[in-house]
Amino acid sequence: MNLASIDLNLLVAFDALLSEGSVSGAAARIGLSQPAMSKRLGHLRRLFADDLFVRHADGVRPTEKALDLADPIRAALRQIQDALGGFGQFSPERSGRIFRIATTDHIAATLMPRLMPVLRSAAPRISIVCAAYTDRKSSIVSRRAR
């Protein structure tokens, strides 16, 4: 498959269809008319040579191929969103960034257990990686503080 021939908006439509379970709901979610979403679904079906979503009494259901594509497409969209998110306003509840914090063992042991529950609530997809901060300057500063 030629990546240049794929419209990113088709992948956004795929994700909306998967999340909403209906063509009209997916259309409303991303600001399209129902016929425009149906047209995108047609493009997706040709692109992946599969029905992807089949009609059901309460909307549409994903095919096996759609389910196989779901995680990789969502991960790709999330990475694109995170990459482009750096140019807009930071949104902790949507961000999947990894923050690396250099700190002393004492601070990590006392602060992190209290910080993590708050962080998980406000920013569930953010990860924190703590690393030991043991350079010469921190040793000098900590001795002066005593």
Instruction: Note if the pTM is more than 0.85.
Output: no
Whole-number pLDDT of residue 36: 97
Question: 3-85 sits in which CATH class?
Answer: mainly alpha
- Chain segment 56-115, per-residue pLDDT in tens: 999 999 999 999 999 999 999 988 887 876 566 778 888 888 888 888 888 889 999 999
Identify the three-state secondary structure at position 76: helix
Kindly tell me if the per-residue pLDDT of 31 is higher than 60: yes
Q: List every span in the chain annotated with CATH 1.10.10.10.
A: 3-85
44 exposed, middle or buried (CB, 10 Å; 0-12, 13-18, 19+)? Answer: buried
SS3 86: coil
Q: What is the per-residue pLDDT for 143?
A: 58
